[in-house]
């Protein structure tokens, strides 16, 4: 097993293509399917479950994470959240193909970020620049923002990448 972030060639390019394809199909299918169901069945009033730990509540987000940039003009949001985001996703897809031998965990993390980004980009392109959000979790007054499956894929991928980075830094800082 490779140490830290060492190059891992134990998974062939064909198998990595299958892994990336499965992640994309599953994430995009779940994301787009749940957004359709949420749009058709939920209201803007929350449905509370498990002692208000989990809520389902329809929201259309014109901004990015937690509504950031939502107050900007429609044209600025289009360039930032659709065009720039689309360019980032193309670059990420290129990165996955170009550096396919990266550690498999990193590869899965990047594929998850790509899938989530595409899911939200589809929304922006087909829903007048808005993303459909519908889930919220929390305990008492401490709550997450309203999010969707694509956001979960992006967050999960980012956390996995952060874990890899942190794991690689441990041996270097232990010797200081």
Please check whether residue 21 lies inside any domain of the structure. Answer: yes
In a domain, 156, yes or no: yes
Residue 37: inside a domain, yes or no? yes
Read off the pLDDT of residues 70-109 as tens digits, 9 standing for 90 and up: 888 999 999 999 999 999 999 999 999 999 899 999 999 9
Residues 6+ apart with CB under 8 A from 7: 101, 102, 103
Contact status, residue 3 vs residue 170, Cβ threshold 8 Å = no
150/32 Cα distance (integer angstroms):
9
Would residue 159 count as lying in a domain? yes
- H-helix or E-strand containing 114? helix 104-126
7 band by pLDDT with thresholds 50, 70 and 90: very low
What is the domain extent for residue 92? 13-169
| Residues in a beta bridge with 143 | 138
User: Residue 11's pLDDT is what?
Assistant: 84
For residue 111, give the 3-state DSSP assignment.
helix
Phi-psi label, residue 105: left if phi above 0, alpha if psi -120 to 50, beta otherwise = alpha
Confidence of residue 9 (pLDDT cuts 50, 70, 90): low
d(CA 78, CA 127): 12
49-58 tens-digit pLDDT: 999 999 999 9
CA distance 44 to 131: 14
Q: Tell me how far the alpha carbon of residue 54 is from its chain's centroid.
A: 20
pLDDT of 89 reads 98
Q: Is residue 3 part of a domain?
A: no
Pick the catalytic residue: 10, 52, 128, 133?
133
Is the CA virtual torsion 74, 137, 152, 123 positive or negative?
negative
In a domain, 18, yes or no: yes
Closest CA to 51 of 138, 142, 133, 135: 138
Q: What mean pLDDT value characterizes the chain?
A: 90
Mean pLDDT over 3-29 rounds to 82
DSSP single-letter state for residue 66: G
| In the predicted structure, residue 66 carries a pLDDT above the cut 80 | no
Asked whether residue 7 is assigned to any structural domain, the reply reads no
Within-domain flag for 155:
yes
Over the stretch 125-136, which tens digit does the pLDDT of each residue have?
999 999 999 999
Query: 2 pLDDT band (50/70/90 cuts)?
Result: very low
Q: Kindly state the average pLDDT of the residues 114-137.
A: 96
pLDDT at 57: 96
- Per the structure, the count of domains in the chain is 1
Rounded to 5 degrees, φ, ψ at 47 are -100, 120
Q: State yes or no: is 133 an active-site residue.
A: yes
């Amino acid at each position: 097993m490779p140490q830290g972030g060492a190059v891992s060639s134990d998974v062939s390019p064909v198998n990595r293509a299958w892994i990336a394809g499965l992640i994309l199909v599953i994430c995009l299918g779940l994301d787009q399917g749940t957004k359709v169901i949420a749009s058709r069945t939920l209201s803007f009033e929350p449905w509370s479950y498990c002692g208000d730990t989990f809520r389902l509540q329809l929201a259309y987000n014109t901004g990015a994470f937690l509504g950031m940039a939502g107050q900007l003009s429609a044209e600025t949001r289009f360039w930032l959240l659709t065009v720039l985001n689309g360019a980032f996703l193309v670059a990420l897809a290129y990165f996955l193909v170009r550096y396919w031998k990266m550690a498999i965990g990193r590869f899965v993390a990047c594929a998850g970020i790509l899938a989530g980004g595409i899911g939200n980009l589809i929304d922006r392109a087909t829903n007048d620049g808005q993303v459909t959000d519908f889930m919220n979790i929390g305990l008492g007054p401490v709550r997450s923002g309203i999010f969707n499956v694509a956001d979960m894929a992006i967050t999960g991928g980012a956390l996995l990448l952060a874990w890899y980075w942190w794991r690689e830094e441990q041996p270097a800082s232990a010797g200081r």
